A and B are shown apart, each in its own frame.
Chain A
């Protein structure tokens, strides 16, 4: 076919986020108007534009001018990801990409907050009606906030996971819920639960049908996006999510109930101190995209507590973006560190450099009990983009993760 012909059939094939309006409307979902949906559509496309059309130029700039310039002036290559990042920060293409990425994140927050705050009273009443005097919500208003949560609002989300504008306020988590689509371009699927679905399937595949957990603990469960798929996959199990943020838990239970999922409890607690749970009382301790929001001081406690509450033959699984090891280029590490320094994820950088195997062993596991794997979000591929098939890279934000864990030997 002649290249000059641009016929209807040769129209470029669309690849990208689906329409925002396909997002799963559970019973706690706010009303999102036509224009508000359109705004999320734009933001999802904007993020995709930045990752597929702008970011590749940063790699080119690194090769063509940033690294050569370093060799020329210092006579030696970069020695650390921090050196790389500081050099990137002087390059105009990185500056433009960063300025727009940050601006897009802030605009996404504003877009979501507008939606939930304009209907705050309705949403808060709905959540109260669904959760008041339900024993599956256990809050502890005296629980101190970990420094990592209190010091900074994660991913530029004003008020973070814990702030209540009025008593019983759940607009924070509602905003988190409705805007995740824009940040991930719909990659997390119908209910932003593609990660949890993938973990459930991974466990079934790798541990077999014999693994029948009776009690599952999800630490740092947030509003339960990735907890509910576990509860659905193991309907016989009692599933408990703990988090420090009361609004997340309240919204989480209300959302779960509105989706007809009943075998989940949401308890306010700190993952570094599980003293309200007995030794060897869980078959499975799960964390999903949680460790990077903790701290160097608390992580050993989180690991040892997870070990303690785990039954023999039980599993601990941590799901995170890949660790920085010697097989990952310093450039990639520096790019992945962007969220740490410029999107209010301060522990992201340190968390990703530690040797998780070593930490698991120090918590009590043996080398041959360790588990390693990988998962990619499971979504309805007819509607949502498939992370497993997608070769674009949005350093740190792709819907594909590593699994590091252990199975306690009997």
Chain B
């Protein structure tokens, strides 16, 4: 047996200085953590989905049954679609920032409030 420690080595750093993209690297570090949490929730969700589908098929829900589960094409498509919707939800703020690029400058609510409060 070798002494490869998979937990430690799995996340090893690749050779080469890591670039950071955001103005504040701490925000980016946190983003990395959030992304992995997002990932792990998707993993848990897929497991739940597998369990539900085994139950629906009337099969015993054992660890072995979960491991050997194969989704049909339709089932896989449903799961894929779920993940796409999930990602769209998680990254809503980026979508909205993106949409704002095209809209350009917009009035803030306070400006509109002032405008609406103007007397005739």
CB proximity of A130 to chain B, nearest CB, Å: 19
Task: Assess whether A120 is interfacial by the CB under 8 Å rule.
Answer: yes
Against A, the Cβ 8 Å flags (1 = close, 0 = not) of B11-43 are 111111001111100001001100110110011
Task: Assess whether B53 is interfacial by the CB under 8 Å rule.
Answer: no
Q: Cα distance A388–B36 when bound, in Å?
A: 32
Q: Which of A22, A49, A56, A60 contacts B84 (CB 8 A)?
A: A49
Find out whether the CB atom of B31 lies under 8 angstroms from the CB atom of A103. yes
Chain A: interface secondary structure? Answer: helix
- CB-defined contacts of A165 to chain B, threshold 8 Å: 2, 4, 9
CB proximity of B93 to chain A, nearest CB, Å: 9
Against B, the Cβ 8 Å flags (1 = close, 0 = not) of A55-85 are 0110011001100000000000000000000
Find out whether the CB atom of A95 lies under 8 angstroms from the CB atom of B21. yes
Against B, the Cβ 8 Å flags (1 = close, 0 = not) of A14-48 are 10111101100000000001110011011101101
Q: Cα distance A100–B78 when bound, in Å?
A: 25
Find out whether the CB atom of B101 lies under 8 angstroms from the CB atom of A61. yes
Q: Which of B43, B70, B71, B81 has the most CB of A within 10 A?
A: B43
A38 nearest CB neighbor, chain B only: B46
- CB-defined contacts of A171 to chain B, threshold 8 Å: 4
Against A, the Cβ 8 Å flags (1 = close, 0 = not) of B66-105 are 1101110000111111011001100100110110011010
Quick one: given A98-B21, A99-B22, A156-B14, are A45 and B84 in contact (CB under 8 Å)? yes
Q: Cα distance A93–B77 when bound, in Å?
A: 30
Find out whether the CB atom of B35 lies under 8 angstroms from the CB atom of A104. yes
CB proximity of B7 to chain A, nearest CB, Å: 8
Find out whether the CB atom of B43 lies under 8 angstroms from the CB atom of A35. yes
- Report A210-262 residues with CB < 8 Å from chain B CB: none
Task: Assess whether A54 is interfacial by the CB under 8 Å rule.
Answer: yes
A116 nearest CB neighbor, chain B only: B6
- CB-defined contacts of A64 to chain B, threshold 8 Å: 101-102, 104
Task: Assess whether A89 is interfacial by the CB under 8 Å rule.
Answer: yes
CB proximity of A58 to chain B, nearest CB, Å: 9
Q: Cα distance A71–B17 when bound, in Å?
A: 33
Against B, the Cβ 8 Å flags (1 = close, 0 = not) of A101-128 are 0111011011101100110110010000
Quick one: given A93-B97, A153-B14, are A38 and B76 in contact (CB under 8 Å)? no
A124 nearest CB neighbor, chain B only: B2
B102 nearest CB neighbor, chain A only: A60
Q: Which of A17, A120, A341 contacts B4 (CB 8 A)?
A: A120
- CB-defined contacts of A120 to chain B, threshold 8 Å: 2, 4, 6
CB proximity of B49 to chain A, nearest CB, Å: 9
How many residue pairs, one in A and one in B, have C-beta atoms under 8 Å apart?
Answer: 174
- CB-defined contacts of A159 to chain B, threshold 8 Å: 12
Q: What is the total number of residues of chain A having a CB less than 8 Å from a CB of chain B?
A: 67
- CB-defined contacts of A60 to chain B, threshold 8 Å: 98, 101-102
Q: Which of A45, A54, A56, A114 contacts B10 (CB 8 A)?
A: A114
Find out whether the CB atom of B101 lies under 8 angstroms from the CB atom of A65. yes
Find out whether the CB atom of A42 lies under 8 angstroms from the CB atom of B83. yes
Q: Cα distance A19–B53 when bound, in Å?
A: 15
Find out whether the CB atom of B95 lies under 8 angstroms from the CB atom of A158. no
Q: Cα distance A129–B39 when bound, in Å?
A: 36
CB proximity of A6 to chain B, nearest CB, Å: 13
- CB-defined contacts of B67 to chain A, threshold 8 Å: 33-34
Find out whether the CB atom of A12 lies under 8 angstroms from the CB atom of B19. no
- CB-defined contacts of A157 to chain B, threshold 8 Å: 14
Task: Assess whether A298 is interfacial by the CB under 8 Å rule.
Answer: no
Find out whether the CB atom of A160 lies under 8 angstroms from the CB atom of B91. no
Q: Cα distance A359–B65 when bound, in Å?
A: 57
Quick one: given A46-B39, A46-B87, A114-B6, are A102 and B81 in contact (CB under 8 Å)? no
Find out whether the CB atom of B15 lies under 8 angstroms from the CB atom of A107. no
Task: Assess whether A361 is interfacial by the CB under 8 Å rule.
Answer: no
- CB-defined contacts of A341 to chain B, threshold 8 Å: 19
Quick one: given A21-B70, A344-B16, are A92 and B97 in contact (CB under 8 Å)? yes
Q: Cα distance A165–B11 when bound, in Å?
A: 14
Task: Assess whether A166 is interfacial by the CB under 8 Å rule.
Answer: yes
Find out whether the CB atom of A117 lies under 8 angstroms from the CB atom of B4. yes
**Can you identify 5 A-B contacts, CB atoms within 8 angstroms?**
A39-B39, A41-B79, A45-B87, A49-B91, A95-B23
Q: Given A38-B42, A100-B35, list of 7 further CB < 8 A pairs?
A: A14-B80, A46-B35, A49-B88, A104-B35, A109-B14, A117-B4, A158-B15
Binding site for B on A (CB under 8 A): 11-12, 14, 16-19, 21-22, 33-35, 38-39, 41-43, 45-46, 48-49, 53-54, 56-57, 60-61, 64-65, 89, 92-96, 98-100, 102-104, 106-107, 109-111, 113-114, 117-118, 120-121, 124, 151-153, 156-160, 165-166, 171, 341-342, 344
> Nearest 8 pairs between A and B by C-beta?
A57-B98, A117-B6, A38-B46, A153-B14, A152-B16, A114-B10, A14-B77, A19-B76
